């Protein structure tokens, strides 16, 4: 068990894979599992959206809802990360590669935007 968090995406993906193999014994690799994991991810993204909507000074949830907490947001982000790691593993993709690619893409977009402003 890791108490202080994980800063390494490769380690996180490995831990998620190991734990999933021990917990979800009926999950077998294949297209159906991909669909199931994607559906679960959508559900968790919805839970994250609800937690964020109720959170702190950015709160936009219903006035009668109790305010959200940092712990709820952390829990839901963790659920999203876990399912994302499982989907990455199923598709033989490294989370670290995906993270690197999105940073490169965003840096490129920023450079193009800066060029457009000159």
What is d(CA 63, CA 66) in angstroms, rounded to the nearest whole number?
8
Is residue 72 close enough to count as binding Mg ion by CB under 5 A? no
Please identify, using beta-carbon distances, which residue of 6 and 41 lies nearer to Mg ion: 41
Which residue in the shown chain puts its C-beta closest to Mg ion?
79
Please identify, using beta-carbon distances, which residue of 65 and 107 lies nearer to Mg ion: 65
Least distance between Mg ion and beta carbon 100 (Å): 27
Helix (H) or strand (E) holding 31: helix 31-53
Of the candidate residues 47, 77, 78, 96, the single one contacting Mg ion (CB under 5 A): 47
Contacts of 73 (CB under 8 A, 6+ apart): 48, 51, 52, 55
Least distance between Mg ion and beta carbon 56 (Å): 19
Is residue 79 close enough to count as binding Mg ion by CB under 5 A? yes
Contacts of 59 (CB under 8 A, 6+ apart): 53, 67, 68
Catalog residues that contact Mg ion under the rule CB under 5 A. Answer: 44, 47, 76, 79
């Amino acid at each position: 068990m890791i108490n202080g968090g994980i800063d390494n995406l490769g380690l996180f993906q490995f831990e998620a894979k190991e734990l999933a193999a021990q917990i979800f014994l009926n999950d077998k690799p294949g297209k159906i599992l991909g669909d199931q994991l994607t559906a679960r991810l959508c559900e968790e993204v919805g839970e994250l959206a609800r937690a964020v909507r109720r959170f702190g000074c950015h709160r936009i949830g219903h006035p009668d809802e109790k305010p959200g907490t940092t712990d709820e947001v952390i829990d839901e982000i963790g659920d999203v990360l876990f399912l994302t790691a499982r989907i990455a593993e199923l598709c033989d993709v490294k989370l670290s590669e995906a993270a690197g690619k999105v940073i490169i893409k965003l840096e490129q977009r920023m450079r193009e935007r800066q060029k457009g402003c000159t």
